Structure formats: C-alpha cells, structure tokens
Amino acid sequence: MDSTFPTPGHLPVKAHDPGTGIVALGLARSFGTVKAVESIDFIAAAGKVTALIGPNGSGKTTLLLMLASLLRPDSGSIRIQGIDPEQDARSVRAILGWMPDTLGVWESLTSREILTTVGSLYGLGKAHARARAAELLEMVELSVLADTPGRVLSRGQAQRLSLARALINDPQVLLLDEPASGLDPGARVQLRMLIRDLAASGKTVVISSHVLVELDEMADAAVFVSKGRTVRSQTLAEAGAQVRGYTIGVLDLPALRRFLESTSVAAVYQPNLENVGGTAKVKLPGESQATELLAALVREGVPVSAFAPSSGLLEETYLSLEGGTK
Ligand SMILES: Nc1ncnc2c1ncn2[C@@H]1O[C@H](COP(=O)(O)OP(=O)(O)OP(=O)(O)O)[C@@H](O)[C@H]1O
C-alpha cells in the first residue's frame, strides 16, 4: 500500500513504510441489521502503543477481530505489516498476538500445558514450546501456579495467562482487548511496564481499554471511535497541547479571583464553607500556559495549595467527543 493517509493530527504524510504496523481504511462490518463498524480508519505505528477508545458498543471488539483476521470486513482494506488478512490470514496470524477481553481457559489443563499446547499450534517444537512457556510464566509471574489447573485461576491470574498466551509466538503485532481488566494495582503497573518494553522493542501494540488515565501513561497515540466510526486520531503530545480544564486550590479565594480577573482568565469558583479558601476551575489552551499561570500565581503571592488538570489527557478528548456525538 503506497498512498497518503489521515494520521493523528490529520497531517497528510506519507503514511507508511508498508512493511510495518497496521493500516486499516474505510472498514465496515454489519451483523444482520446492526452496523457494528460503519466507517473506521485505524493506523497504528510499529514501536508505538496505540490506544483504541470508545464507549460500550462502539465497535472496538469488532474492529480488533477484523484486524486479527478472525472476522471478514464487509468493505475496506487492512494491512498488517503490509499483509492483507483477507488474502493471507495464515501469515497474519503467524506475526500477531491476540489477547481477547475474556480468555476461555481449558479448565483441566495447567497454565504450563495451555502455553505449550498453544506453542505447538504455532509450530514450536516440544522443547522450544516448553522453554517459551516457562519464560512467559516467569514474565507474568505465574510460575508458582504453572502446574495448577486453569479452572482455579482468579480473574487477574487468567488475564496474565492470556497475555502470556498472546506472546507465545513472539508476535510483531499485539492486539490487547481490555488487558488490565481484573488486575490489581501492582499487576497493572507491571503490565504498563511490560507493554512499554514490548513497544520499545519495535512491536506494534494496540490496546482497547476504558481506563483512560492508565492509557495516558501507556499510549503514544489514540484512536477514538463512536457508533462504529472513527471520530478522532491524536498523539498524546497533541492531546497535551489541547485546551484542558485545570482545578486550582487556594487558601485565599478572593486573592485568586482578583488575580484571574485582572488577567482575564475565566473561572468557575467554589468557595470553602469554613474558611476563605476554595477552588477555581479554568480552561487553559495548553500545558505551557498552565505552567505560566502557576508561576505567575506563585510570583504574585497567591497561596496556591493545589494545581492540577481536572481530568486525564485522553479523558479530556473523550469527554469533548462524547458531548459532540450524543
Ligand atoms: N456477533 C454479533 N452479532 C450481532 N451483533 C453484534 C455481534 N457482535 C457485535 N455486535 C453488535 O455490534 C456493536 C459493536 O459491538 P462491539 O462488541 O464491537 O463493541 P465494543 O466497542 O467492543 O463494546 P464494549 O466496550 O462494550 O466491549 C454492538 O451494538 C453489538 O451489540
């Protein structure tokens, strides 16, 4: 494929080294009369983590299934590392790791047996499959449960096994559907580090998730979908540069109000009931303006006790889109 595509920020750049990442354009897929995916463009670069974000029922899983060659699109084109899954599903599956939102575990098999079995399905020899299974069990910290049956795994443990399963063939492209769901806070931090490492090693990583704050720390770019359509693509740097709500906490609200009014910054004020302090909510055009405002407040002696974005970067975009798509 060799043409120009809309990229995050909508800059028409030469999209692609055709050998890398994912390029899906104009995708549509219906189930009977339900248009699960109506018009989705999705680009994910190699070496980056791309978030797929959208409300329930917006078509994320349907899109991932098409990218994974498990579902045929009614129309549109897909290239995974330059390969068309409709023409060559086998080659796509060989380079792809798929972590579904819920893992069907073979209940009587142990975690080790599940991984070695999947390994042999990918054509790994017995010894290689066993070694790879041991390595992955170690990586997702399931070694102690390696020989207990799948049915006794907790939801979080099953999620970790699912991730290990998705990595068995050392895939170049990883599709993760809600990977953090069911994980405790410690396991979420580990997952985040693991995903960053996988991207740093050159893999194309796609994550569908509702936990937007977590994606802020994990993703390089995001594609927002709603009602089966792509409604926005942006990099995290672009998200950081957009208008954003900030909450300023002060010990002296009248002093803050005087300062903001003198500099024509509009705000919504919320006084404390028991003292002269309170909070103000403001909209600022970007992170550098936020830095400047904070510095000016400190310089002017306004007693600031808190200064923080009112929501996460991606959450800000999500909420603005939600408002516009309802
Ligand atoms: N096999 C199917 N048969 C009929 N309708 C389907 C099928 N799969 C999905 N749909 C419908 O297509 C729409 C998109 O579903 P999809 O699962 O892709 O959304 P999603 O964004 O992944 O949702 P969630 O965030 O809740 O997981 C929904 O209205 C869903 O009911």
Count of beta carbons in the 10 Å neighbourhood of residue 78: 24
Q: What is the pLDDT confidence band of residue 130, given thresholds at 50, 70 and 90? A: very high
What are 163-189's pLDDT values in tens digits? 999 999 999 999 999 888 878 888 888
Q: Which of 217, 239, 261 is the endpoint of a domain?
A: 239
Q: Percent of the chain, pLDDT > 70?
A: 91
Based on the domain organization, do 186 and 295 belong to the same domain?
no
List strands edge to edge, sheet with 244-250. 267-271, 278-284, 244-250, 304-309
Based on the domain organization, do 203 and 271 belong to the same domain?
no
**Residue 120 covered by a domain:** no
Give the per-residue pLDDT at 17: 56
Mean pLDDT (the chain, rounded): 87
Q: Which of 183, 210, 239 is the endpoint of a domain?
A: 239
| Closest ligand 1 atom number to CA of residue 178 | 27
Based on the domain organization, do 232 and 261 belong to the same domain?
no
Based on the domain organization, do 302 and 315 belong to the same domain?
yes
The mean pLDDT of 50-60, rounded to a whole number, is 92
Q: Which residues contact 94 (CB under 8 A, 6 or more apart)?
A: 122, 169
Q: What is the pLDDT confidence band of residue 119, given thresholds at 50, 70 and 90? A: very high
Structural domains of the chain, count? 2
Which amino acid would we find at residue 36?
A: A
Q: What is the value of ipTM here, to two decimals?
A: 0.97
Q: What is the pairing mode between strands 22-31 and 34-44?
A: antiparallel
* Phi, psi for 160 (deg, rounded to 5): -65, -35
Q: Which CATH number fits the domain that encloses residue 250?
A: 3.30.70
Which is nearest to 179 in space by CA: 120, 81, 102, 75? 102
Based on the domain organization, do 217 and 271 belong to the same domain?
no
**With 70 as the cut, is the pLDDT of residue 16 above it?**
no
The mean pLDDT of 272-293, rounded to a whole number, is 91
Lookup: tokens for 238: 């672009």
Report residues whose beta carbon is within 6 angstroms of any ligand 1 atom: 31, 34, 36, 54, 56-62
Distance 233 CA to ligand 1 centre (A): 21
**Residue 285 covered by a domain:** yes
Determine if the pTM surpasses 0.90. no
Mutate to test the pocket of ligand 1, among 34, 35, 37, 181 (most ligand atoms within 8 A of CB): 34
Name the residue with higher pLDDT: 116 or 326.
116
Distance 212 CA to ligand 1 centre (A): 20
| Closest ligand 1 atom number to CA of residue 225 | 21
Give the per-residue pLDDT at 103: 63
**With 60 as the cut, is the pLDDT of residue 134 above it?**
yes
**Residue 40 covered by a domain:** yes
Based on the domain organization, do 257 and 193 belong to the same domain?
no
Min mean pLDDT across 47-56, 64-73, 92-101, 312-321 is at 312-321
Residue range of the domain that includes 279: 242-325
Q: Is the dihedral of CA 60, 73, 50, 314 positive or negative?
A: negative
Give the per-residue pLDDT at 41: 95
The mean pLDDT of 213-217, rounded to a whole number, is 83
Min mean pLDDT across 39-53, 190-204, 253-267, 310-324 is at 310-324
**Residue 205 covered by a domain:** yes
Based on the domain organization, do 190 and 311 belong to the same domain?
no
Give the per-residue pLDDT at 287: 83
Which is nearest to 118 in space by CA: 105, 211, 108? 105
Give the per-residue pLDDT at 7: 41
Contact 56, 225 (CB under 8 A): no
**Residue 143 covered by a domain:** no
| Closest ligand 1 atom number to CA of residue 54 | 21
**With 70 as the cut, is the pLDDT of residue 297 above it?**
yes
Taking CA atoms only, the protein residue closest to ligand 1 atom 5 is 31
Contact 171, 203 (CB under 8 A): yes
Q: Which residues pair with 250 in a beta bridge?
A: 278, 304
Based on the domain organization, do 215 and 258 belong to the same domain?
no
Count of beta carbons in the 10 Å neighbourhood of residue 110: 18
Based on the domain organization, do 229 and 261 belong to the same domain?
no
Based on the domain organization, do 226 and 247 belong to the same domain?
no
| Closest ligand 1 atom number to CA of residue 63 | 18
Mutate to test the pocket of ligand 1, among 27, 30, 39, 61 (most ligand atoms within 8 A of CB): 61
Taking CA atoms only, the protein residue closest to ligand 1 atom 2 is 31
Q: Which of 239, 264, 290 is the endpoint of a domain?
A: 239
Distance 36 CA to ligand 1 centre (A): 6
Based on the domain organization, do 85 and 96 belong to the same domain?
yes
What are 221-237's pLDDT values in tens digits? 999 999 999 998 988 88
**Residue 110 covered by a domain:** no
Q: Which CATH number fits the domain that encloses residue 180?
A: 3.40.50.300
**Residue 302 covered by a domain:** yes
| Closest ligand 1 atom number to CA of residue 228 | 14
Give the per-residue pLDDT at 104: 66
Distance 55 CA to ligand 1 centre (A): 11
Q: Which residues contact 19 (CB under 8 A, 6 or more apart)?
A: 81, 82
Q: What is the DSSP string of 42-101?
A: EEE-TTSEEEEE--TTSSHHHHHHHHTTSS--SEEEEEETTB-TTT-HHHHHHTEEEE-S
Based on the domain organization, do 235 and 246 belong to the same domain?
no
**Residue 123 covered by a domain:** no
